[in-house]
Chains A and B, each alone.
Chain A
Amino acid sequence: MKSAMNKYRKSIGKFLGVFLTMCVVIIVLVPIIWLFVSSFKTDSDVISYPPHFFPQEWTLAQYKYVASSIPIFSMTKTTVIFAGGVTIISVMFDSMAGYAFARMNFKGSKLLFSIILLTMMVPFQIIMTPLYIEVYKLKLLDTYLGLILPRATSAFGIYMMKSFFQELPKSIEESGRIDGMSEFRIFRSLMLPLCKPALVSLAIFHFMNNWNDLLYPLMLTSSSDKRTLSAGLAVLVGNKVIKYGPTLAATMISLAPLLILYIFCQRYFVEGIATAGVKE
């Protein structure tokens, strides 16, 4: 009796689980699919009433319009240089700092780390104008360096790498020290290879954030050939009259490279980031 009851309960639980997870799949996927198919609608189809999920007639007109209005390829190039540059440099600096905070004893380490954490609490809007003036003073306005440098490290990355390095066994660097290696060699040849998953997931995190960023690149660039993709596409959304068709196509274009990257590297996105399961 009892075991039958248990079995019944278990299968109900299982059914509930499948039902729930599937509902969430639908809720997640439907808007994204809607965006994809709607970017092939005509202008009047996008705003027709009653609305249709799928296009009445499939058209590439919106994509053609976007391609003719803005230089998509040069903007993509800029975005790759910007997001890629930030990613490479930031991962390097973040892991160095994270390593020092996790594995080395030095005066003021606790205080310095708390100060770094404080920077996570500063909304960009607050420092926007002083930052602009500063980048100008450094003569870096509208240059790749000026775009990349302010983002070349992040509190989040340091925090994440610190927690990762803390998990590694102590014996590693001791063996290095016995061999007479310098601190940097220990870090470079012994520790770094051990944290590839964390590095990859941090890299993806930086790449994603900077790819999607809007206000920051708009602020620090002034020529259209230094505009990033998401910032460039923002220009398409009309000032007085919004054109919904091109807006959808533009949104799809800005998402597509990341989505494609995601499909091929999802293991790193999902599992890599998981190593950021930061422990205090």
Chain B
Amino acid sequence: MSKTSIQKKKKYKPQQQKSAYLFILPSMLILTVFIFIPLFASLVISLLDMNIFMKDISFVGLLNFVRAFQDSRVHNATLNTFYFAVLEVPLQVGIALLLSIYVAKDNKYTRALRSVYYLPFVCSMTAVGIVWSMLLDPNLGMLPYLLRCIGIESISFLKDPNLAMPTIIVVSAWKGFGYTLTLITAAVLNVPSSLYEAAEMDGANTWQKFIHITIPGIWPTVSFCIVTTTISALQMFDQAYVMTQGGPLNRTETLVQYIYDRGFQTAPYDLGYASAISVYLFAIIAVITFILRRFILEKGE
């Protein structure tokens, strides 16, 4: 896709260059002041012994990082973060792909379906979390009660150490699949219909058409979805914060959650340490994004 837009000539016209810089100036200024400087500040803070009161600050070098690498809760949070991302991303994108077979057509009925599917994405994570944790509450909730009525006892979803994370994954996919589906639908509708007609002449069935024509045709969009969903999955916080607060037994505590706990929830509010874990998380996200873009995008081309 990008081939069409890449300009072959590499000479820069001075006049155009000047206007280009002017065009990006506002955005660059804002991103620099409100994201890069704070991020850079975090990086510096990670080398300091500093709490949120910002008194008695001292330089400790890499001590915070050494501490982080030895902290079993950092290990646990890292595993949980991957657990979430590795299952949530395929689930959300998979559901969207599966449904796109049926709803990626342009008629009234499918448009209505897509509107409904998009609904959870409009709701805030806080609202979604409150609703689901009440529906799934083992003692007062609707779903466990109905399961009990048909003879399935004691599934406690968010309260069960082994089920809590899978439950959060499903709820997250519930909230996000409609958005992914909309992106994929647009891509599917852009695949030239002549390709399908040719395949039908060769006697291909629905499934074969999907695998051999649709998937390659929409791959750039799918990979965009995978990359962006993965980035946000690695930053998972709201879901667990609203529904489980990292419990039970820290089984749903992610890295962002642990950063938040050290920096803002547990006195002495150790900002230096929280920043060190932040830098570690940022490195993980950057590396994974790089790898994903390398492999998924190359595979597409």
Contacts and interface: CB of A to CB of B under 8 A. Distances in A.
Direct contact of A and B (CB under 8 A): yes
Interface of A: 9, 13, 17, 20-21, 24-25, 27-29, 31-32, 34-35, 38, 47-51, 53, 93-94, 96-97, 99-102, 104-107, 109, 112, 116, 118-123, 125-131, 134, 149-150, 152-153, 155-156, 158, 166-167, 182-184, 187, 208, 211-212, 214, 230, 234, 244, 247-248, 251, 254-255, 258-259, 262, 266, 269-271, 273-280
B139 A134 contact: no
A149 B34 contact: yes
A92 to B, nearest CB: 8
Interface in B217-275: 220-221, 223-224, 228, 231, 235, 237-238, 256, 259-260, 263-264, 271, 275
Contacts of B147: none
Given A96-B24, A280-B223, A24 B117 contact: yes
Contact of A127 (B15, B38, B260): B38
A279 B113 CA distance: 25
A271 B22 CA distance: 32
Interface in B254-301: 256, 259-260, 263-264, 271, 275, 278, 281-282, 285-286, 289, 297, 300
Given A153-B31, A230-B126, A93 B186 contact: no
Given A119-B36, A212-B123, 11 more contacts: A20-B99, A34-B131, A49-B140, A93-B26, A107-B12, A116-B27, A126-B42, A149-B30, A254-B127, A278-B224, A280-B297
Nearest to B124: A212
B23 A99 contact: yes
B132 interface: yes
Interface residues of B, number: 101
Contacts of B78: none
Contacts of B37: 130, 134
Nearest to A105: B12
Interface stretch (B56-64, B161-169, B177-185): B177-185
Given A131-B34, A251-B127, A17 B13 contact: no
The 3 closest A-B pairs by CB, nearest first: A274-B186, A212-B124, A127-B38
A129 to B, nearest CB: 6
A28 B174 contact: yes
Interface in B83-122: 98-99, 101-103, 111, 113-120, 122
Contacts of B139: 49
B contacts with A: majority SS: helix
B195 interface: no
A21 B278 contact: no
Given A122-B282, A212-B124, A166 B5 contact: yes
Contact of B20 (A13, A100, A259): A100
Nearest to B110: A21
Contacts of B115: 266, 269-270
B220 A47 contact: no
A32 B41 contact: no
Contact of B102 (A21, A49, A99): A21
B186 A31 contact: no
B2 interface: yes
A122 B39 contact: yes
Contacts of A123: 235, 237, 256, 259, 278, 281
B16 A262 contact: no
B120 A28 contact: yes
A126 B30 contact: no
Interface in B47-80: 52
B150 to A, nearest CB: 14
A259 B124 CA distance: 11
11 contacts: A28-B116, A38-B134, A105-B17, A106-B16, A121-B282, A212-B123, A271-B186, A277-B183, A277-B184, A277-B221, A279-B1
B43 to A, nearest CB: 10
Contacts of B281: 123, 126
